[in-house]
Chains A and B, each alone.
Chain A
Amino acid sequence: DSGVTQTPKHLITATGQRVTLRCSPRSGDLSVYWYQQSLDQGLQFLIQYYNGEERAKGNILERFSAQQFPDLHSELNLSSLELGDSALYFCASSVGTTVYEKLFFGSGTQLSVL
């Protein structure tokens, strides 16, 4: 158990809908990351937050947004969903943002868009 909690574990929805994925980082971790893993794209970095502020942005679509709340949990919002958004979404956390720190990943949310 990495200590990172993601909910829900599975999500099935229809095209055009909007969903919210939630992540609670390990106790004491200030940095949260979101990754998307699909069969054809592999693990793709989406976005990073540190202590409530956006820190780094990757291949995140404009239809997707995220935020980190004062209690440090994070939410990833996916809107106008398309079939191609079906993927495993992972959240990870670390204490800070330096390259010396390891990331701890949650068990993921499996999103199926039908």
Chain B
Amino acid sequence: DAKTTQPTSMDCAEGRAANLPCNHSTISGNEYVYWYRQIHSQGPQYIIHGLKNNETNEMASLIITEDRKSSTLILPHATLRDTAVYYCIVTQEAAGNKLTFGGGTRVLVKP
């Protein structure tokens, strides 16, 4: 699986959009980008995933660059409950859904 690079931490103001970057410059054509988050020692929670196209759901938007070497997770209106560690994961179809978590980005949403 391709390696991902994320900032260790970032702060965000409540009510503002949170843009979380992820670099995956070695991604190959059949690898998907997944985002999960973990709120204070709870089990990780799925957010969104994509292959090539931008994706949006009720939680967030995922913007993948045209060359697919990086992506951005956007939380449109961050709330205090969005404070969590956010994991960007790249996995290929052959690996099934055996996810390999990295260090993630610790996001602190401030009032």
Task: Known contacts A92-B43, A105-B43; decide if A56 and B102 are in contact (CB<8 Å).
Answer: no
Stretch from B18-26, B65-73, B91-99 at the A interface: B91-99
**Min distance, Cβ B102 to any Cβ of chain A, angstroms:** 7
Q: How many residues of A contact B (CB 8 A)?
A: 29
| Residue of A56, A99, A106 touching B93 (CB-CB under 8 A) | A99
Contact assessment for A102 and B49 in the assembled complex, using a CB-CB cutoff below 8 Å: yes
Contact with B along A90-109 (1 / 0, CB 8 A): 10101001111111111110
- Residues of chain B within 8 A of A100, CB atoms compared: 32, 49, 97
Give the interface size class of chain B. Answer: 20 to 34
The listed residue with most B CB atoms (<10 A of its CB), out of A35, A42, A97, is A42
A21, CB-defined interface residue at 8 Å: no
- Residues of chain B within 8 A of A4, CB atoms compared: 43
A2, CB-defined interface residue at 8 Å: yes
Contact assessment for A42 and B92 in the assembled complex, using a CB-CB cutoff below 8 Å: no
- Residues of chain A within 8 A of B100, CB atoms compared: 45
- Residues of chain B within 8 A of A98, CB atoms compared: 93, 96-97
Ordered nearest first, which 3 A-B pairs have the shortest CB separation? Answer: A105-B43, A43-B101, A102-B46
Give 13 A-B contacts (CB < 8 Å), ordered by A residue: A4-B43, A31-B97, A43-B38, A43-B44, A43-B101, A44-B101, A92-B44, A99-B92, A99-B95, A100-B32, A100-B49, A103-B46, A105-B44
